[in-house]
Amino acid sequence: MKNMEIINQTYGENPQKAEWWRRLIGFSIDIIGYFILLWIVYYLIELLSIGYLIEDASIVFRYIYFYFFYIFYYVLFESLTNRTLGKIITGTIVINSLTFKKPSLGQIFGRSFSRLIPFDFISFISSKPRGWHDSIPNTMVTTIKSKHEFKTINKIDL
């Protein structure tokens, strides 16, 4: 059996929060990516000739479908890479705001569900802007310039 390493990465001693404009651009890109994913899934449903299920569905089912894929988009990308399409393009990454390491799956789910809070954007309008989807699960978005900026710590041989 090969030796495998679990690498726990941290982003420096005191990472800075990403600028508001990077976050806004990243969010805009993510919304476009989300709608593309939603369209692809809908198209696949049509190809399977079960599109009538969505067309005949109640408005409640349509909202559930819409929000399920909204959460799925963020959980899928952030759990695998700490980044969504928008974060990759803007050079940002999600980290645990307490340890400066990769957030747990629970934190990622917390971020994703917290985005559904109506008026989440209002939480950015303050002297210390921080979205509820960051403050509730104790995460933050920071800027990375390259993968080399990450420090590798806590190597564990299995």
DSSP structure string for 94-153: EEETTTSBPPPHHHHHHHHHHTTSTTGGGGGSSSS---HHHHTTTEEEEE-S-GGGSEEE
Tokens 């980290």 locate to 95
Contact 86, 33 (CB under 8 A): yes
pLDDT at 145: 64
pLDDT given for residue 85 in this prediction = 95
Total H helices, total E strands in the chain: 6, 4
Q: Mean pLDDT of residues grouped by 10 in the chain (158 residues)?
A: 45 78 94 91 78 67 85 94 94 92 95 89 75 91 66 38
User: Hey, where are the domains in the chain?
Assistant: 5-157
pTM of the model: 0.76
CA distance 38 to 43: 9
